[in-house]
Amino acid sequence: MYVAVKGGERAVKNSQILVAGKRRGDINVPKITPDQIKNQLGLGVDRVMAEGSLYDEHAAAMAIRQAQGDMTEAIFLVRAFRTTLKRFGNSIPVETTRMAAFRRVSGIFKDIPGGQILGPTYDYTHRLIESCPEDDTQDTRERPLETENGMSDPAPASHDAPPFPGELPRVIDILQTRGLMQKDPAIPPNDDGEDLTRQPLTFPASRSLRLQALARGDEGFLLGSAYSLQRGFGLDRHPFLGELKIGYAAVWYTPPELGFKINIGRIKLTECFMVNRQDDAPKKAAGFETGYGLVFGQNERKAMAMSLLDRSLRTNENTGKADYPARDPEFVLSHCDNVESSGFVQHLKLPHYVDFQSELVFIRSRRKDHVPDEGDR
């Protein structure tokens, strides 16, 4: 008599032991610390915070280590941690014009009020893998040269440091005050608490929900979708970078029991405004439109892709018709979350014996119609 193999429990346990061993690697190599990850893999930490939608560098660094550097897995760990956290209220919307910016570029005006700041970027490095001494405890880093308006030290000294001297007006404000761009209708204060992490995404999705979904969406998916727009799958004109800004923004919160706002810290943000020529309409004055991107941490690629998509997904807000995937809100927003997509694609690893058995029964009955004798040998 046949006895079905058992032992799932032991297999699962062993698998967990094995992955823990793999994660640690060679025991003779020192274990990396979350501090090392925060300091030296900071852009990775930024990405995990953004897509994990939790601004917690320490949790992100621990997640990256626990996931062996698998970013999607690390993002998942942060999400599963985040969902258990108590929420005590909504902050006051951050004022990104008062951000302490350490990088700010515009592709549409050479001179902008407040000036352009190149700041730290890989854009103008030559991508050569550099060999460097393994032991670099001595700080031999070069100091940046003096510039007119550059900030050499990106991180302000303390949480309550005053924001960067004065305000940095938005570049698109210039277009708006000159009447070349319609002002966006102000998004009403989010009193009803529209929150993608607490409510399901439904369509048509408001702009607030759309931006939430994109802000925590997968960088690769957003990038590829935005790229498809640029290649003519949804845009028939060249878009322009109105403004890209990276810096620290103060977060203010009004505790109900206090009744006045207090500063609870600062977060690193990348903000982007793209500028597109408005679709021609015979009876409308010609002008420009904008798309918006805002991401935790420093991630220019994602903020730019997000602002291209924000614009393209608005095109069909009223008609609901979409001719290209990257202009279709349901297509983009339903598929941009990598915790969802990764889980569902990989669930195919789970046993599907029963469903497959049903398929087998059907296929055999079909084959009997055609080759009665040799349906299945």
Partner 1 sequence: MPLAYNFAYLDEQSKKMIRRAILKALAIPGFQVPFGGREMPLPYGWGTGGIQLTASVIGPDDRLKVIDQGSDDTVNAISIKAFFKKTAGIAITEETRAATIIQTRHRIPETPLQKGQIMVFQVPIPEPLQFIEPKKSQTVKMHGFEEYGSMHVKLYEDIAKFGRIATAFDYPVQVHQRYIMSPSPIPKYDNPKLHQSPAIHLFGAGREKRIYAVPPFTDVVSLDFEDYPFELEQWDGACAVCGSQNSFLDEIITDDKGTRVFICSDTEYCRNNAGKSNP
Partner 2 sequence: MSRVQENDSLPLLEVRHLSKFFGKQLGCHDISFAVSPGEVIGVVGESGSGKSTLLNCIAGRIQSSNGAVLFNSSVGMLDLCRCDEALVRRIIRTQTGYVTQNASKGLKMHISAGGNIGEKLMANGMRNYRQIREQALAWLAKVEIDPGRIDDLPSTFSGGMQQRLQIAANLVNAPKIMLMDEPTSGLDVSVQARLIDVLRKLVSGLNLSMILVTHDLAVARLLCHRLYVMKQGKIVESGLSDQILDDPRQPYTQLLVSSVLKP
For 184, 329, 354, 368, the CA distances from 318, given in Å and listed in that order, are 16, 11, 44, 53
- 370 binds, options partner 1, partner 2, none, Cβ within 5 to 8 A by partner type: none
57 versus 289: smaller Cβ distance to partner 2: 289
How near is the Cβ of 283 to partner 2 at its closest, in Å?
Answer: 6
Residue 283: name its binding partner from partner 2, partner 1, none (Cβ under 5 to 8 Å by kind): partner 2
100-105/262-277 β-pairing: unpaired
Interacting partner of 2 out of partner 2, partner 1, none (Cβ under 5 to 8 A depending on kind):
partner 1
4 vs 281 by CB, closer to partner 2: 281
**Shortest approach of partner 1 to residue 13 CB, angstroms?**
9
Residue number with CB closer to partner 2 (110 or 283): 283
- Among partner 1, partner 2, none, what binds residue 178 when CB lies within 5 to 8 Å by partner kind? none
Site residues for partner 2 per CB under 8 A: 281-283
> Which residue, 68 or 197, has its beta carbon nearer to partner 1?
197
Nearest approach in angstroms of CB 208 to partner 1 is: 16
* Residue 368: CB minimum distance to partner 1, A: 11
- Considering the complex, what minimum distance in angstroms separates the CB of residue 184 from partner 2? 17
Four-residue CA torsion sign, 98, 99, 105, 107 = negative
| Nearer of residues 157 and 281 to partner 2, judged by Cβ | 281
Q: What is the DSSP letter of 257?
A: T
Query: Pairing between strand 240-253 and 100-105?
Result: antiparallel
352's contact among partner 1, partner 2, none, with CB below 5 to 8 A by partner kind, is partner 1
Give the angle 295-297-299 at the CA atoms, nearest 5°: 65
Closest to 324 (Cα-Cα) out of 246, 254, 225: 225
Cβ count near 49 (within 10 Å):
26
In whole angstroms, how close is the CB of 227 to partner 1 at the nearest point?
23
Out of partner 1, partner 2, none, what residue 198 binds, judged by CB under 5 to 8 A for its kind, is: partner 1
Distance CA 50, CA 214 (A): 10
Q: How far is CA 340 from CA 61, 208, 343, in A?
A: 22, 20, 5
Contacted by 109, from partner 1, partner 2, none: CB < 5 to 8 Å by type = none
Please tell me the distance from the alpha carbon of residue 121 to that of residue 91, in angstroms, as a whole number.
Answer: 30
CB closer to partner 1 out of 8 and 133: 8
Query: Rounded to an integer, what distance in angstroms lies between the CA atom of residue 48 and that of residue 39?
Result: 14
Residues of this chain that bind partner 1 (CB under 8 A): 1-4, 6-9, 11-12, 58, 76, 79-84, 86, 197-204, 320, 330, 334, 339-340, 342-347, 350-355, 357-362, 365-366, 369, 377
Write the CB contacts of 291 (distance below 8 Å, at least 6 apart in sequence).
239, 273, 274, 276, 306, 307, 308, 309, 310, 311, 312, 314
Which residues does residue 196 pair with via DSSP β-bridges, in sequence order?
none
- Of residues 109 and 344, the one with the C-beta less far from partner 1: 344
State the residue for tokens 């995937």.
325
Q: Which is nearer to partner 2, 137 or 319 (CB)?
A: 319
339 binds, among partner 1, partner 2, none (CB under 5 to 8 A by kind): partner 1
